[in-house]
Structure 1
Amino acid sequence: MTLFFDSFWRAVGYCLRPRVIALSFLPLVVMVALALGLGYYYWEPALDWVREMLEASSTVNTVWDWLQSVGAGSIKMVLAPMVVIFAVTPVIVVLSLLLVAVLMTPALTSLVAERRFPLLERKHGGSLARSLIWSFGSTLLAVVALIVSIPLWLVPPLVLVLPPLIWGWLTYRVMAFDALAEHASAEERQLLFKQHRSWLLGIGVFCGFLGAAPSLLWASGALFAAAFVVLVPIAIWIYTLVFAFSSLWFAHYCLAALHTLRANTAQTVATAPLVAALPASVVDVDAVTLADDSTTQPPALR
């Protein structure tokens, strides 16, 4: 837990660095160009298609008639934009995450390593190709989970819980792998994933809920169409900053955990010859523990 909160506050501090803020504009430029381009060509056709689908539904028409009778008929005007927005938000989130992972995470991990762990050996356990395959596979699983869970979104509490949980799981999978790709070997990465899985997943889920915050701006864009063009880049930049913060949090946590793992391993290796050299009569075998977490202590000798 100490490592969890220590890495959190360090990530917050690093987000205020000019270098990090400057890096956050790289994914922003790509995403804004993509979002505005697709919006220019497909926004109106998408709205027309959704309106046609809604008007063809007798259930929706019954709901609209009821809303009209209670004086809430204006909701009909914003329903189609809201449907389109909620449909594209997961796509925007996933693309923002992948762009941050490709354009920012290596640079942010190097920044953390240079300032905190300059002597940490780089074992290059994850190549660029392996990172892309890992990210693509994780994204595919997350998309499948989102599609399968869509019917559950009709239950009011679940629509606020399930998407952030899925995004958090995807964030954990992508960010943790990239944070360790340069410095850890494949064996070390697997061991750290096993030892710290719950904490890494907790970081991902927390950041997943942070990533859901910009959806409020998307909703505002549906209600205030005149400001939508301005709100789009703001929302995307918030997504970018959230995932940049996530990347820094994972970098601080994973590199610190890797440093501790290697220190404990080196300590175990250094004390092993001493234990082996002692006569069996003076060695309490039950007292010699070889724990592989941060609480490892030197073997007890008597």
Structure 2
Amino acid sequence: MGLLIDSFWRAALYLWRPRVIALSMLPLVLTIGLALGLGWFWWDPAVAWVRGLLDSTDWAAPLWNWLDGMGLARLKAALAPLIVIFTVTPLLALVSLLIVALMMTPAMVELVAQRRFPQLERRHGGSLLVSVLWSLGSTLAALLALLISSPLWLVPPLILILPPLIWGWLTYRVMAFDALAVHASREERQALFREHRGKLLFMGVICGYLGAAPSLVSASGALFAAAFLILVPVALWLYTLVFAFSSLWFSHYALSALAQLRQAEASAAAAQNAGQADALALAHEHQADRPLDSPPATPAER
């Protein structure tokens, strides 16, 4: 538990570093940039297409008549731009978040490695291709587990237990692999997964629950249209912050565990070498104590 708590508070402190803050703001910058670029080229055609679709829809005619009767005829003109904004913004946010996710984990691992473990040997036990295949395989396994276990979600306690466990398993598989891909060998990674599986799963579940908070904020933005353009960027920033914390937590924990594993192996090797050296010294001492003209030692003497 000491390593678990130590890596947790270190990850929380690292969130305040300028590099982490800059990465957490990057999705907002990308979203705004993509929105401005798309708006410059396709805003007018998109709004015109949505407005034409609304005008040609039969069910919308009573709505327009009702708005005219209520003195809200101007709302009809504003409805098409709002639909375009509400449709495009989450897609832009998702694309930006995926781009940053691919950049963030290597950046967090490198930050922790440079500041805490500069002498830790990099044995490159996982390439980019292996990492992608590992993530895809783990994701498919998690989705299959969710599908198989979905009937059990009807039992009230299990819906609060099974999905977090499955997503926690997926989180620890992907995050821990990425944290160890550069520094650990394949054998070291397998040994650490076996030894720390329970704690890594616990970390994954906690990170999964933390990731639910931005979803609530985003859902609130969908319910309250007036706050949509404020709550969606806030949810996007929180998603990135939770992802950064998860990457930092797994990086601190995995690299610390790897350093301890290598230290234990080095101590065991040193002890073994010392034992062999002592045995050789005793053998030489025994030979030196025997007279030069004495006959060879009998089996009993040996």
TM-score by length of 1: 0.67
What is the aligned partner in structure 2 of residue 146 from structure 1?
146
The answer for unaligned runs of 5 or more in structure 1 is: 45-87, 283-302
Deviations 1:218-270 (A, max 9, x none): 33123212222332222222122111101000000011111111111111111
Q: Superposition pairs for residues 182-197 of structure 1, below 5 Å?
A: 182-197=182-197
What is the aligned partner in structure 2 of residue 174 from structure 1?
174
Residues 31 and 236 in structure 1, CA contact (< 8 A), matched pair in contact too: no
What is the aligned partner in structure 1 of residue 14 from structure 2?
14
State the distance in 2 between where 1:236 and 1:148 align: 31
State the distance in 2 between where 1:34 and 1:149 align: 39
What is the aligned partner in structure 2 of residue 134 from structure 1?
134
Q: CA RMSD in A?
A: 3.5
Residues 23 and 100 in structure 2, CA contact (< 8 A), matched pair in contact too: no
State the distance in 2 between where 1:179 and 1:207 align: 15
| Pair 1:255-2:255 in alignment | yes
State the distance in 2 between where 1:162 and 1:30 align: 35
Structure 1 residue identity aligned to 2:17:
R
Structure 2 residue identity aligned to 1:214:
P
What is the aligned partner in structure 2 of residue 207 from structure 1?
207
What is the aligned partner in structure 1 of residue 105 from structure 2?
105
Structure 2 residue identity aligned to 1:110:
E
Residues 1:184 and 1:191: Cα distance change in structure 2 (over 3 Å)? same
Residues 172 and 203 in structure 2, CA contact (< 8 A), matched pair in contact too: yes
Structure 1 residue identity aligned to 2:270:
A
Deviations 1:198-223 (A, max 9, x none): 11111111111111122221331232
> Deviation of residue 137 (structure 1)?
1.1
State the distance in 2 between where 1:180 and 1:102 align: 16
> Deviation of residue 144 (structure 1)?
2.5
Q: Larger Rg: 1 or 2? A: 2
State the distance in 2 between where 1:172 and 1:260 align: 19
Task: Name the SS of the counterpart of 1:140 in structure 2.
Answer: helix
Q: Percent identity?
A: 64
Residues 105 and 178 in structure 1, CA contact (< 8 A), matched pair in contact too: yes
Deviations 1:107-161 (A, max 9, x none): 1111101111111111111111111111111112222333344444455544444
TM-score by length of 2: 0.67
> Deviation of residue 23 (structure 1)?
1.2
Larger deviation, residues 245-254 vs 133-142: 133-142
Larger deviation, residues 119-128 vs 100-109: 100-109
State the distance in 2 between where 1:5 and 1:157 align: 28
Q: Superposition pairs for residues 62-141 of structure 1, below 5 Å?
A: 101-141=101-141
The answer for unaligned runs of 5 or more in structure 2 is: 51-89, 283-302
Task: Name the SS of the counterpart of 1:104 in structure 2.
Answer: helix
State the distance in 2 between where 1:157 and 1:236 align: 30
State the distance in 2 between where 1:274 and 1:265 align: 14
> Deviation of residue 31 (structure 1)?
7.2
Structure 1 residue identity aligned to 2:175:
M
Q: How many residues align?
A: 233
